[in-house]
A = this chain, B = another copy of it.
Amino acid sequence: MANKLQVIPLGGLGEFGMNSLALRYGDDIIVIDAGMMFPDEDLLGIDIVVPDFAYLVENKDQVRALFLTHGHEDHIGAVPFLLSKLDIPVYGTPFTLALAERRLEEHGLAGRVQLRPVWYGRKVEVGPFQVEFVHVTHSVVQAAALAIRTPLGVVIHTGDFKVDPTPTDNVLFDLHTLANYGQQGVLLLLSDSTNVDRPGYTESERAVRPRFEEVFGRAPGRIVISCFSSSIHRLQQVFELAEQHGRKVALLGRSMVQVVETAHRLGVLDIPDHILLRPQDIMLVPRDKVVVLASGSQGEALSAMARVAIDSHKHLSLEPGDLVVLSARIIPGNEKAIYRMINHLARRGAEVLYGSMEPPVHVSGHASAGELKLILNLVRPKYFVPIHGEYRQLAKHVTLADSMRHVGIEGCFILESGQVLELDETGARVAGTVPVGRICIDSGTLDEVVEDVVIKDRQHLSEEGFVVSIVLLNRTTGRPEGLPEIVSRGFVSAEDGAELLERARWLVLETVESASAEERRDVGLIQDKIRRALRKYLQDVASGRPLIIPVVIEV
């Protein structure tokens, strides 16, 4: 292992979300990001999904630090889960750490964790690694790429980025530092693949300004804008326009309130004096004198925006003439919830702006193909591994990089989470795997982990319901006592099913009575017989395949 550098993706490669990646050199491991993902609809009843950090836990004594590239949930959402298992320092920019700290506080971990703020240009030494934070533009402020000097050469991890030539805060992508690394020679580039499908360049964050101006210029009533609370650039533009147009700004939703407060405290959001309006006063001021910033752009149940849509928010009731702006992307999987919310907003009589339009109501924070090529040109790495994307995106990013071998690329690798890339003096290769996986967390507590078998049962239950049959066997005679009971849910309705289930009771009785004395002495055997009989009957009569659970009790 000595003199070898290992790149170990723990999440987010070949899947959407829960980004996390480890770098190992000898006995030293550093971790970059610890994100969560929103669950697939087939993970029923699950709130969040985090990477299985088994590899890190097994190598506990070697893990030196966690570096965070930026404050989005798919990069910091699993920080509390990871830090409940490992006691390591966390490095990030002040705003990123502030967002991570919010999450840690929710789990009572904030005091225990060493959060070490880093500013761009400073180099952090951890074991054989020297890590420099490089400023990149993204939809959240204070995002970073990491330039990691190792004994074998420099590794550049882009984090999430776009190359915004005109960011709203005028803090530019630090192309020069990347260029310098490129000139000195970069061993490996790990680069964001989210938008590799899009040709050209992603629009500047400033591109939403004309749309916002149009909205402020014409809205006859209230303006309600929903975006991610961490989209500080966008919030800043809303505050500026509100001031220009003499509107007060009210904040709805816990995350909106908390993040605005944090951003203001850290000086990344400039809030004009006296512009804030308490939520309880929204309905008291003239409709054309207020703009509401609300969280819930993904249609999340119980979010401020979702409650406003169904007119059940205590501080805001929309009327015809009000204008709602959904200034966020539709995260795949959320389409139906979002459209449902928009339908409700339309029923309130509000005009709703969402989706694609020109000028745009939202722009992406991720680099399109043109910017990805620019980064490859600047960094000109020896080896390239695409990160942050499903397989189709990683494959496309490799095709793109393959077409640019002339910049000096010697090898491109598609890794999926768990596949290890090993680099040494002789080259680079995929070498082995480490255990990875998804851990499902049922609620806010970190230890409530729902296992695969439970999820599979839930899936079956959700599709076909269940039938429990209860048979009492007389211990002495071995014969059934009375008519067996049947309990069922999610299979047939009480009315329709009454006769069906009544006949099933008799069927179970016959099955038990027709069994031999030996079978009846073996509970497992008789349960199996009942299960088969019921399965055949329910399949034939009702074309159903509920989960069947035979219970046999000796009395």
Chain A contacts to B: CB under 8 angstroms: 14, 40-41, 44-45, 197, 199, 332-333, 335-336, 339, 342-347, 351-352, 355, 357, 390-392, 395-396, 399, 442-443, 445, 448, 450-451, 453-454, 457-466, 468, 470, 472, 481-482, 485, 487, 489-494, 496, 542-544, 547, 549, 551, 553, 555
Task: Find out whether the CB atom of B336 lies under 8 angstroms from the CB atom of A40.
Answer: yes
What residues of B have a CB within 8 angstroms of the CB of A333 in the complex? 335-336
**CB nearest neighbor in B for A443:** B543
Task: Find out whether the CB atom of A339 lies under 8 angstroms from the CB atom of B332.
Answer: yes
What residues of B have a CB within 8 angstroms of the CB of A461 in the complex? 458, 461-462, 465-466, 489-490
| Chain A to chain B contacts (Cβ below 8 Å), 8 pairs | A333-B336, A343-B392, A448-B543, A453-B493, A454-B491, A461-B461, A461-B489, A487-B551
CA A458 – CA B460 in complex, angstroms? 9
What residues of B have a CB within 8 angstroms of the CB of A44 in the complex? 462-463
**CB nearest neighbor in B for A355:** B197
CA A343 – CA B472 in complex, angstroms? 51
What residues of B have a CB within 8 angstroms of the CB of A460 in the complex? 490
Task: Find out whether the CB atom of A343 lies under 8 angstroms from the CB atom of B14.
Answer: yes
What residues of B have a CB within 8 angstroms of the CB of A496 in the complex? 451
Interface of A is mostly: mixed
Which of A351, A392, A450 gathers most chain B CB within 10 Å? A392
Give A423 Cβ to nearest chain B Cβ, in Å: 24
CA A474 – CA B336 in complex, angstroms? 52
Task: Find out whether the CB atom of A493 lies under 8 angstroms from the CB atom of B454.
Answer: yes
CA A549 – CA B467 in complex, angstroms? 12
Give A150 Cβ to nearest chain B Cβ, in Å: 30
Given contacts A333-B335, A462-B45, A543-B445, contact A457 B490 (CB under 8 A): yes
Task: Find out whether the CB atom of A457 lies under 8 angstroms from the CB atom of B468.
Answer: no
What residues of B have a CB within 8 angstroms of the CB of A339 in the complex? 332, 390, 392
What residues of B have a CB within 8 angstroms of the CB of A14 in the complex? 343
For this chain, the copies found in one complex come to 2
Task: Find out whether the CB atom of A346 lies under 8 angstroms from the CB atom of B443.
Answer: no
What residues of B have a CB within 8 angstroms of the CB of A491 in the complex? 454
Picked from B345, B454, B459, the residue with its CB within 8 Å of the CB of A492 is B454
What residues of B have a CB within 8 angstroms of the CB of A553 in the complex? 470, 472, 482, 485
CA A120 – CA B335 in complex, angstroms? 38
CA A521 – CA B538 in complex, angstroms? 34
CA A466 – CA B186 in complex, angstroms? 55
What residues of B have a CB within 8 angstroms of the CB of A448 in the complex? 542-543
**CB nearest neighbor in B for A489:** B457
CA A124 – CA B323 in complex, angstroms? 46
CA A555 – CA B470 in complex, angstroms? 13
Task: Find out whether the CB atom of A549 lies under 8 angstroms from the CB atom of B462.
Answer: no
**CB nearest neighbor in B for A342:** B392
Which of A14, A357, A445, A450 gathers most chain B CB within 10 Å? A450
CA A448 – CA B538 in complex, angstroms? 13
CA A339 – CA B194 in complex, angstroms? 13
Give A450 Cβ to nearest chain B Cβ, in Å: 8
Task: Find out whether the CB atom of A493 lies under 8 angstroms from the CB atom of B451.
Answer: yes
CA A492 – CA B357 in complex, angstroms? 47
What residues of B have a CB within 8 angstroms of the CB of A468 in the complex? 468, 487, 549, 551
**CB nearest neighbor in B for A493:** B451
Give A245 Cβ to nearest chain B Cβ, in Å: 24
**CB nearest neighbor in B for A394:** B346
What residues of B have a CB within 8 angstroms of the CB of A481 in the complex? 555
Task: Find out whether the CB atom of B489 lies under 8 angstroms from the CB atom of A549.
Answer: yes
What residues of B have a CB within 8 angstroms of the CB of A355 in the complex? 197
**CB nearest neighbor in B for A458:** B490
Give A101 Cβ to nearest chain B Cβ, in Å: 25
Task: Find out whether the CB atom of B472 lies under 8 angstroms from the CB atom of A465.
Answer: no
CA A553 – CA B551 in complex, angstroms? 13
CA A197 – CA B460 in complex, angstroms? 39
Given contacts A453-B493, A496-B451, contact A45 B336 (CB under 8 A): no
Which of A344, A458, A544 gathers most chain B CB within 10 Å? A458
CA A390 – CA B339 in complex, angstroms? 9
CA A347 – CA B443 in complex, angstroms? 34
**CB nearest neighbor in B for A468:** B468
What residues of B have a CB within 8 angstroms of the CB of A493 in the complex? 450-451, 453-454
**CB nearest neighbor in B for A16:** B339
Task: Find out whether the CB atom of B551 lies under 8 angstroms from the CB atom of A470.
Answer: yes
Task: Find out whether the CB atom of B346 lies under 8 angstroms from the CB atom of A453.
Answer: no
CA A465 – CA B459 in complex, angstroms? 10
What residues of B have a CB within 8 angstroms of the CB of A399 in the complex? 351
What residues of B have a CB within 8 angstroms of the CB of A459 in the complex? 462
Given contacts A443-B543, A458-B462, contact A352 B45 (CB under 8 A): no
